[in-house]
Amino acid sequence: GAVVSQHPSWVICKSGTSVKIECRSLDFQATTMFWYRQFPKQSLMLMATSNEGSKATYEQGVEKDKFLINHASLTLSTLTVTSAHPEDSSFYICSALRGVNTEAFFGQGTRLTVV
Amino acid sequence: ELKVEQNPLFLSMQEGKNYTIYCNYSTTSDRLYWYRQDPGKSLESLFVLLSNGAVKQEGRLMASLDTKARLSTLHITAAVHDLSATYFCAVDRGMRFGAGTRLTVKP
């Protein structure tokens, strides 16, 4: 099956610093990637849709200046949490679409803790 | 705005029993997904349903889609403990997720 690798798996950072999370499709080209955040015992909340070579489309209420998304190639999208605060602590998950009529493949997730 | 409703949110069942999880969505969609999530882990794809009347089965799980009723079901047959997890449905390519159903299968 298709593999999506997310890195790092977990990260602890200080308030005010920035953190970058990478999402790579290892064995396929993904024209579209999605970024989600998930709080404990809650569902996934779509943050943004990332298309290669164009600006990400952010969901309502998601600050695009705080959550910077770069989809520089067909196999890599990055999410940078800028000036992180404790309330940004969450589980961040990416997914990638391999084709039009296939399911999305999910990365392992990144657990971010801001102290 | 597309809304996706799952029920039940919590489900405790005994091994060997059957049960169905329901996923309703509010606007037209041409695809529906089912995923499984174990605690602390990411999502595992179970099914993708692409057309009205689509039915897919894998082991003790069977998913179906009725696009006219905007309803998908995930049926569990003869549950076993290994099926304990949270199950999510998601709609459309944008992956709008339901709240999830936390399933616990007890001996």
CA-based torsion, B63, A44, B94, A94: positive or negative: negative
Residue-wise pLDDT for B54-94, tens only, equals 999 999 999 999 999 999 999 999 999 999 999 999 997 66
Contact assessment for residue A48 and residue A58, using Cβ atoms and an 8 Å cutoff: yes
Q: How many CA atoms lie within 13 A of A26 on its CB side?
A: 11
pLDDT tens for chain A, 115 residues long, are 679 999 999 999 999 999 999 999 999 998 889 999 999 989 999 999 988 888 899 999 999 999 999 988 889 999 999 999 999 999 999 999 887 667 788 999 999 999 9
What is the CA angle A10-A14-A15, rounded to 5?
A: 120
Residue among B56, B17, B18 nearest B34 (CA):
B56
Is B98 in Cβ contact with A101 (below 8 Å)? no
Contact assessment for residue A94 and residue A8, using Cβ atoms and an 8 Å cutoff: no
Is B97 in Cβ contact with A46 (below 8 Å)? yes
Is B45 in Cβ contact with A44 (below 8 Å)? no
- Residues belonging to chain B with any Cβ–Cβ distance to chain A shorter than 8 Å: 31, 33, 35, 41-45, 47-48, 50, 88, 90, 93-100
Per CB-CB distance under 8 Å, the chain A contacts of B100 are 42-43
- CA-to-CA distance for B7 and B21, rounded, in angstroms? 6
User: What confidence score (pLDDT) does residue B93 get?
Assistant: 66
- CA-to-CA distance for A101 and B16, rounded, in angstroms? 34
Residues 3-22 of A with CB under 8 A from B: 6
Contact assessment for residue A43 and residue B100, using Cβ atoms and an 8 Å cutoff: yes
Instruction: For residues B3-29, give the mean pLDDT.
Output: 94
The helix (H) or strand (E) run that includes residue A80 is strand A76-81
Is B100 in Cβ contact with A43 (below 8 Å)? yes
Is B48 in Cβ contact with A43 (below 8 Å)? no
Residue of A nearest to B32 (CA): A103
Q: Indicate if the pLDDT at residue B37 is higher than 80.
A: yes
Per CB-CB distance under 8 Å, the chain B contacts of A97 are 93
Task: Count other Cβ atoms within 10 Å, centred on residue B51.
Answer: 10
Is A101 in Cβ contact with B48 (below 8 Å)? yes
Contacts of residue A13, Cβ cutoff 8 Å, sequence gap at least 6: A19, A84, A112, A113, A114, A115
- CA-to-CA distance for A33 and A69, rounded, in angstroms? 10
